Amino acid sequence: MINFKSKIYVAGHRGLVGSAIVRKLNEKGYKNIVFREKNKLDLTDQVQVAKFLKKQKPDFVFIAAAKVGGIYSNKNFKADYITQNLQIQTNLIYSSYLAGVRNLIFLGSSCIYPRNSKQPIKEKYLLTGKLEETNDAYAVAKIAGIKMCESFNEQYKCNYKCLMPANTFGPNDNYDEKNSHFLPALILKSHRIKINNLRNITLWGNGKVKREFIHVDDLAEACVFFMKKKTDHSLINIGTGKDYTIDYYANTISKIILKKKIKIHYDRSKPNGVKRKVLDISLAKKYGWKPKLNLKKSIIKTYNSFLKEIKK
């Protein structure tokens, strides 16, 4: 049973999701949290990871560590994505088992589901169709992590859960133009337009594809909720259950950040990705979890955190 004295290891504690999990754990009274900086623990090194977990013997492990990025990065560095993610998650899951850890949450991504999946996407749609080619290497790695957790549950009676979030954003996000996801890249571009008093913005694709986003604080809340929850399912979607077009997000963010409407140009020579991707979160709701933050409040909260980060 996980309680306030339980030792909890958060892998990837400096990233978008990992840092939010640490904040949420502290907020709720969990103080025995362990983590290690990259320069002190290389998660792609099996020996280092095994030694660390054997010594620490945590009661619970969150795997939020991963190599992540946007369409450009996923499409052009596939070998890095599949290799590093397979190494990180395999080392952490297997070494956790060897260290006697029987409670773990592995975090993935909604990109694990087929490109042309029925909408909204149910957990049972996994492996029922072809993946989106622009990020299939990352998706295959995450699918392997899910199957690894399921296999340890089946063979060794572990309690390894896999939470699959929608596109996530919030504090500590990556705002690099070529390596970030759509929403943080849009926040950065809108901020630059604001400080330079510009009137135009250029985005990839045609603006018509639909995406679902969840604020990282909502995801962290789900992580802590399911840390304590006994479930009969190892794979659970985490999202808002609502999706909007890229054009809607662009106009909403411009109104929030710029306080005015701007002209949006779409570069149709660049990829769109899948046409629509929204998660069915009925299973998570059945267990008693649901998102709390609405989109506009989430964007305002994220932009304020972005302004603090660029001042550092």
In a domain, 19, yes or no: yes
Q: Domain holding 91: CATH number?
A: 3.40.50.720
- In this prediction, residue 270 carries a pLDDT of 86
Give dist(CA 89, CA 43) in Å, integer: 8
Among 39, 2, 34, 42, CA closest to 18: 34
Q: Is the pLDDT of residue 26 over 90?
A: yes
pLDDT averaged over every residue in the chain: 94
Among 296, 282, 138, 283, CA closest to 213: 296
- Degrees to nearest 5, angle at CA 215 with 266 and 173: 70
Give dist(CA 160, CA 101) in Å, integer: 9
In a domain, 203, yes or no: no
The pLDDT tens digits for 3-14 are 999 999 999 999
pTM value is 0.94
141, two tokens = 């790695």
Q: For the residues 42-50, what does the mean pLDDT come to?
A: 98
Q: For the residues 127-144, what does the mean pLDDT come to?
A: 96
DSSP letters along 261-301, please? --EEEEETTS----SEE-B--HHHHHTT------HHHHHHH
Query: In which residue are the tokens 């945590």 written?
Result: 58
- In this prediction, residue 175 carries a pLDDT of 87
The pLDDT tens digits for 87-120 are 999 999 999 999 999 999 999 999 999 999 999 9
Positions annotated as catalytic residues are 138
Measured in whole angstroms, the distance separating CA 19 from the mean position of its chain's CA atoms is 12
In a domain, 184, yes or no: no
- CB contact at 8 A, 95 and 228: no
- Would strands 200-204 and 103-107 be described as parallel, antiparallel, or unpaired? unpaired
Q: Is the pLDDT of residue 309 over 90?
A: no
In a domain, 133, yes or no: yes
**How many domains does the chain contain in total?**
1
SS3 107: strand
- Amino acid identity at 102: R
- In this prediction, residue 179 carries a pLDDT of 73
**Range with the poorest average pLDDT among 130-134, 177-181, 251-255, 270-274:** 177-181
Among 253, 133, 265, CA closest to 188: 253
The pLDDT tens digits for 192-227 are 999 998 888 888 899 999 999 999 999 999 999 999
271, two tokens = 């990829």
Give dist(CA 188, CA 17) in Å, integer: 19
In a domain, 37, yes or no: yes
Percent of the chain at pLDDT above 70?
99
Q: Is the pLDDT of residue 70 over 90?
A: no
Q: For the residues 38-61, what does the mean pLDDT come to?
A: 98
In a domain, 135, yes or no: yes
- In this prediction, residue 106 carries a pLDDT of 99
Q: Containing domain of residue 153, as a range?
A: 8-172+214-241+278-293
Q: Is the pLDDT of residue 311 over 80?
A: no
In a domain, 263, yes or no: no
Percent of the chain at pLDDT above 90?
83
As a residue count, the chain comes to: 312
- In this prediction, residue 262 carries a pLDDT of 82
In a domain, 165, yes or no: yes
| 180 secondary structure, DSSP code | S
